[in-house]
Amino acid sequence: MKGFGQRLSEAAEHHGALCVGIDPHASLLQAWGLDDDVDGLREFSRRCVEAFAGHVALVKPQVAFYERFGSQGFAILEETIAQLRSTGTLVVADAKRGDIGSTMAGYADAWLGEGSPLQSDAVTVSPYLGVGALGAVFDRSKESGAGVFVLAATSNPEAVSLQTTTGADGRTLAQRVVDECASYNPMGRVGDVGVVVGATVEKAPELVSLNGPVLMPGVGAQGGSAADVARIAAGALAVPNVSRSVLSAGPGVAELREAAVRVASGYR
């Protein structure tokens, strides 16, 4: 069975290395002429699936915007993930989970477990209870070939002072996260454990030795560019993430697809 890293590499080769976010926040629903309710959420998601499935390498539903509607929102998220994956489109659930022991194992089962209604190809996780505390999700990745994206150097300004803190060995905290994630990946091929590094980060960690994918938010509306991606992640499988710059082309399905394909063409 091919692991997530290999499948993502092949999808990027075919479609262009791009991840498109599905972010149904209230203002965007309104801009699309939809109500900020469960019906609006379902219609928004339906159009995104129709536009992106089979046309981009990776799709990233933002879990928070579904979670705010409770169980009905999660039901729509389940439908959205399943519909995308049924077309062979890779899905990363942007859940940013992070805990210890059996609780982390529960999250791993929820987002990557075979037969789970939320099963995705990959999930985002937070390492700030310790990278080792994420062991359950790494184990699940190894067993099933699923992907994991660990937050390392995010693009929000509040993170800078924490993530650039330097230890006695001279490495920043972000670099330590990357290095620990690298230990889970084999040499010689793209592994399944990746990291999240913002495209607007000024002091980025070294990524060449990761041997895994790099999810890069901050491209487009947030100011990051293809040049930033090349500067930060040269030699790595970098997958820029765009949301607003594509979703603003809606509400039409054809326009959404055209925007996604156009942006993806810049990362071939």
Catalytically annotated residues: 96
Q: What does the alpha-carbon distance between residue 73 and residue 42 come to, in Å, rounded to a whole number?
A: 8
Q: What does the alpha-carbon distance between residue 38 and residue 73 come to, in Å, rounded to a whole number?
A: 7
Single-letter amino acid, residue 256: L
Task: List all residues 6 or more positions away from 186 whose beta carbon is below 8 Å from its beta carbon.
Answer: 211
CA 199, 266, 29, 91 torsion: positive or negative? negative
- Left, alpha or beta for 115 (phi > 0: left; psi -120 to 50: alpha)? left
Six-digit token pair at 227? Answer: 């040049």
Q: Which helix (H) or strand (E) holds 61?
A: strand 58-61
- Crossing angle of the two packed helices 253-265 and 38-52, in degrees rounded to 10: 50
Q: What does the alpha-carbon distance between residue 7 and residue 90 come to, in Å, rounded to a whole number?
A: 8
Q: Are the beta carbons of 266 and 243 closer than 8 angstroms?
A: no
Q: What does the alpha-carbon distance between residue 95 and residue 136 come to, in Å, rounded to a whole number?
A: 16
Q: Rounded to the nearest 5°, which phi and psi values hold at 236?
A: -110, 165
Q: Are the beta carbons of 229 and 242 closer than 8 angstroms?
A: no
Q: Are the beta carbons of 229 and 240 closer than 8 angstroms?
A: yes
